[in-house]
Amino acid sequence: MILIVMGVSGAGKTRIGELLAERLACSFMDGDAFHSEANKAKMAHGIALTDDDRWPWLAAIRAAIEARQRAGETAVFGCSSLKRAYRDVLRGGPGGDGNVRFVYLRGTFEVLRQRLNARAGHFFDPSLLQSQLDTLEEPGEDEALTVSVDMTPEAIVDEVMAKLGRRSA
Average pLDDT estimate for 125-144: 82
CATH code of residue 44: 3.40.50.300
Q: At what angle do helices 153-164 and 13-24 cross, to 10 degrees?
A: 50
* Whole-number pLDDT of residue 168: 53
Supply the pLDDT for residue 84: 94
Query: Is residue 62 situated within a structural domain?
Result: yes
For residue 32, give the nearest of 45, 23, 44 by alpha carbon: 44
User: Helix, strand, or coil here: 106?
Assistant: strand
Average pLDDT of the residues of the chain: 87
Instruction: State the DSSP code for 50.
Output: P
16-61: pLDDT as tens digits: 999 999 999 999 999 989 988 898 888 778 787 889 999 999 999 9
Percent of the chain with pLDDT over 90: 57
Measured between alpha carbons, how far is residue 116 from residues 39, 68, 78, 151 in Å? 18, 31, 17, 17
Decide if 169 is inside a domain: no
Tell me which H or E stretch contains 153: helix 153-164
Confidence of residue 127 (pLDDT cuts 50, 70, 90): low
pLDDT tens profile 55-97:
999 999 999 999 999 999 999 999 999 999 999 999 998 777 7
Q: Which is higher by pLDDT, 10 or 51?
A: 51
pLDDT of residue 125: 60
pLDDT of 93: 85
Residue 107 lies in a domain: yes
Q: Which residue range is the domain that position 118 belongs to?
A: 2-164
Task: Express each pLDDT in 105-120 by its tens digit.
Answer: 998 878 777 766 665 5
Assess if residue 155 is contained within a domain.
Answer: yes
Residue 147 belongs to a domain: yes
Domain count of the fold of the chain: 1
